[in-house]
Amino acid sequence: MSLRIVVCVKYVPDATGDRHFADDLTVDRDDVDGLLSELDEYAVEQALQIADEADDAEITVLTVGPEDAKDALRKALSMGADKAIHVEDDDLHGTDVIGTSLVLAKAVEKAGYDLVITGMASTDGTMGVLPAILAERLGVPQVTLLSEVKVEDGKVTGRRDGDSASEQLEASLPALVSVTDQSGEARYPSFKGIMAAKKKPVESWDLSDLDLDAEEVGLEGAYTVVESAAQRPARTAGTVVKDEGEGGKQLAEFLAGQKFI
Amino acid sequence: MAEVLVYVDHVDGAVRKPTLELLTLARRVGEPVAVALGAGAEATAAVLAEHGAVKVLTADAPEFAEYLVVPKVDALEAAYKAVSPAAVLVPSSAEGKEIAARLAVRIGSGIITDAIDLEAGDEGPVATQSAFAASFTTKSRVSKGTPVITVKPNSAAVEAAPAAGAVEALAVTFGALATGTKVISRTPRESTGRPELTEAAIVVSGGRGVNGAENFHLIEELADSLGAAVGASRAAVDAGWYPHTNQVGQTGKSVSPQLYIAAGISGAIQHRAGMQTSKTIVAVNKDAEAPIFDLVDYGVVGDLFEVVPQLTGEIKARKG
């Protein structure tokens, strides 16, 4: 039987751009180019490797986001995923992690899955909690923050490197896995992959396809409110000296003046 | 006064510093009730009481160590039901965030992660966060359910505030999901004897300019002369010169120490995301154009192989 893998990805504003907030205090998506979140490339990569090892596997890449989010799906398809689902609805604007996880859970269930793979966090929100919430909603084992992952005989195993210990984990499928940036360099799409991706199916679903109401998502449905966002004042320019042989001593003098020594 | 649940991060009864900082913040919002789970839970009570815990709810069961995350969520949910708190505060570790997030969904609440400050507000606690690689500061609150908030290390001072700290056993029933992910083996990280990176008052980090694992001892010696933690940039970690657990930056740790010393680090956005909220920033880099110099309070343009050993020697001499 085919192993059904669903990879959840996010379309984010480029972290090297000048990111800021829109007037409604959501992430501004107009002024900075968007792309597939770098941390989600690792999830796509691991899905591809797991699919390679399986006798028969199908990778669906799933995103929730505005029109342009299709770019993220195309990137994943060009890396080698088989098909894509784009959940897009004007009412989704301003959805927080609680709402996003609800939409993803419904979509993953509708798509059908044995294994859900995500990145460790998005590069814009950077909360890192969506994988755990999605596992909770799906009612499947959470096998998260893996730097090594393997799927064999209906089981997923992997290594989770925590602050105080490194743990070897095991769970039965269906399960949810998140992978870190230590799981292995993501491949670049080949020219052939890019051409093939243009022909791969991208389905579009809206809230009604998932039996969700507008009130459950969006800014209105959010469980959190951002009251203000302020640009951090630029750090005041400090002293920069050129080492003429006494640089270390000068630095020590500065640190002593600041009472660090 | 309303009660506030505080999830305790401890190792065999030794409470880690971020939990004590959490108690300081919890007291701004209500009366802290601590929840300590696993081996040594009861041993946490004395230090928690010293820092303001009116009650310490404890539970121990093999499930906490043998299965990932979910047994702890079940226990925290049991504490939530027993206490009906005004808020739930959890330290922002990787595991802490996962526990908090699953609890939030179960109890129909919103969640805020990685707060760097917390104050009482008319409509519930207001959390301060850093956004977009710390180029923005936001203030947010949970608008539905009981606020669940995770707080980063070094967000508040540890304060003595003696309270009763009465130990009460917490009754926990594990749900079907609790045993979903088995922990087959656990290899504790070897202790370096240095402070925890995210908790340290001083962090000394090395980057590409260190030019090899064999040179990282220069960074370690400087760190040790100051009692500091050692960090590394992504470039240094990707090159295999230093462990990933020490990586400072967007995909590593985010630190906010009193003093951050960057040696041989150019200061790409990826790195700045993890350190630019540090109080004082110092850099040594041979490239005068390196972006790190835009952030520094004091910078030395020079060869770190000259400057760093001289600095270490001078610190040792001054400390006698």
Q: Print the domain residue range for B279.
A: 202-319
- pLDDT (tens digit per residue) in A122-132: 988 889 999 99
> Which of A15, A164, A168 has the CB atom closest to B185's CB atom?
A168
| B196·A163 Cβ contact <8 A | yes
Q: For residues A65 and A11, give the distance between their C-alpha atoms in angstroms, rounded to a whole number.
A: 7
pLDDT in tens, A203-244: 999 999 999 999 999 999 999 999 999 998 888 879 999 999
In this structure, the answer to whether residues B163 and B120 fall within a common structural domain is yes
Whether residue A81 is contained in a domain is answered as yes
- Alpha-carbon distance of A236 to A73, in angstroms, equals 41
Q: Among A16-30, A196-210, A242-256, B234-248, whose mean pLDDT is lowest?
A: A16-30
Query: Which of B112, B187, B306 comes nearest A224 by C-beta?
Result: B112
pLDDT of residue B112: 98
Total-model pTM: 0.94
State residue B308's pLDDT score: 98
Instruction: Mutate one of A38, A101, A130, A136 to test the B interface: name it (highest B CB count within 10 A).
Output: A136
According to DSSP, the β-strands at B182-188 and A202-205 are unpaired
Residue ranges of alpha helices (H) inside B85-209 are 94-106
Residue to mutate among B105, B116, B271, with most A CBs inside 10 A, is B105
ipTM above 0.90, yes or no: yes
Q: Is B233 annotated as a binding residue?
A: yes
B135 interaction partners in chain A (CB closer than 8 Å):
19, 231-232
Q: At which of B116, B147, B179 does a domain end?
A: B179
> φ, ψ for residue A139 (rounded to 5)?
70, 35
* Chain A CB contacts of B308 below 8 Å: 248
Q: Is B211 left (phi over 0), alpha (psi -120 to 50) or beta?
A: left
For residue B300, give the nearest of A162, A180, A241 by CB distance: A241
Q: Does B249 share its domain with B293? A: yes
Considering the domain architecture, whether residues B52 and B100 belong to the same structural domain is answered as: yes
Cα-to-chain-centroid distance, residue B231? 14
User: Are B136 and B246 part of one and the same domain?
Assistant: no
Chain A residues with CB under 8 Å of B143 CB are 222-225
Q: What is the pLDDT of residue A212?
A: 97
Residue A242 lies in a domain: no
Question: When comparing pLDDT for B11 and A16, which is higher?
Answer: B11
pLDDT of residue A1: 66
Query: Looking at residue B89, which CATH number applies to its domain?
Result: 3.40.50.620
Can you tell me the distance from the alpha carbon of B83 to that of B106, in angstroms, rounded to the nearest whole number?
16
B269 neighbourhood in chain A, CB within 8 Å: 15-16
Q: Which member of B94, B104, B133 has the closest CB to residue A15?
A: B133
Q: Is residue B194 a contact partner of residue B216, using CB atoms and an 8 Å limit?
A: no
Among B12, B15, B64, B68, which would you mutate to test the A interface (most chain A Cβ atoms within 10 Å of its Cβ)? B68
Please check whether residue A18 lies inside any domain of the structure: yes
Q: What is the pLDDT of residue A16?
A: 82
Tell me, yes or no, whether B131 and B233 share the same domain.
no
* Interface mutation target, options A103, A179, A260, chain B, most CBs of B under 10 Å: A260
Q: Looking at the partner chain, which of A128, A139, A181 has a beta carbon nearest the beta carbon of B97?
A: A128
B166 and B22 in a common domain: yes
Question: Do both B19 and B114 map to the same domain?
Answer: yes
Q: Give me the tens of pLDDT residue by residue for chain B, a chain 320 residues long.
A: 799 999 999 999 999 999 999 999 999 999 999 999 999 999 999 999 999 999 999 999 999 999 999 999 999 999 999 999 999 999 999 999 999 999 999 999 999 999 999 999 999 999 999 998 888 999 999 999 999 999 999 999 999 999 999 999 999 999 999 999 999 999 998 888 999 999 999 999 999 999 999 999 999 999 999 999 999 999 999 999 999 999 999 888 999 999 999 999 999 988 998 998 899 999 999 999 999 999 999 999 999 999 999 999 999 999 98
- Shared-domain flag, residues B240 and B164: no
Regarding whether B44 and B104 lie in a shared domain, the answer is yes
* Inter-residue long-range contacts of A52-58, CB under 8 Å, 24+ positions, other chains counted: A53/A150, A53/A151, A53/A152, A54/A3, A54/A151, A56/A1, A56/A2, A56/A3, A57/A2, A57/A3, A57/A4, A57/A5, A58/A2, A58/A3, A58/A4, A58/A5, A58/A82, A58/A83
The total of structural domains in chain B comes to 2
Say whether pLDDT at A141 is over 90.
Answer: yes
Residue A163 lies in a domain: yes
Q: What is the CATH number of the domain that holds A141?
A: 3.40.50.620
User: Which chain B residue shows the shortest CA-CA distance from A247?
Assistant: B307
Q: What angle separates helix A130-138 from helix B94-106, to the nearest 10 degrees?
A: 40
Question: Of the candidates B134, B68, B205, which has an alpha carbon nearest to the alpha carbon of residue A135?
Answer: B68
Contacts of B73 in chain A (CB under 8 A): 136
A54 in any annotated domain: yes
Is A51 part of a structural domain of the chain?
yes
Q: Residue A83 falls within a domain, yes or no?
A: yes
Return the amino acid letter for A170: E
Within this chain, do residues B235 and B125 fall inside the same structural domain, yes or no?
Answer: no
How many Å apart are CA A34 and CA A187, to the nearest integer? 19
Chain A hits for B293, CB-CB cut-off 8 Å, are 240
Q: Is residue A257 part of a domain?
A: no
Indicate whether B195 belongs to any domain.
no
CATH number, domain at B250? 3.40.50.1220
Is B270–A143 a contact, with Cβ atoms under 8 angstroms apart? no
Residues B172 and B32 in one domain: yes
CB contact under 8 A, A16 and B269: yes
Handedness of CA B234, B237, B241, B247 (dihedral sign): positive
Helix (H) or strand (E) holding A73: helix A70-79
Partner residue facing B282 (CB), from A140, A164, A251:
A251
Question: Is residue B276 a known part of a binding site?
Answer: no
Residue type, B139: K
Joined together, the tokens standing for residue B146 give 């009981």
Number of folded domains that form chain A: 1
Contact flag A247-B114 (C-beta cutoff 8 Å)? no
> Is B35 annotated as belonging to a binding site?
no
Average confidence (pLDDT) over A42-50? 98
Same domain? For B156 and B211 the reply is no
A-B CB pairs within 8 A amount to 263
Burial class (CB in 10 A: 0-12, 13-18, 19+), B25: buried
Are residues A232 and B186, on separate chains, in Cβ contact within 8 Å? no
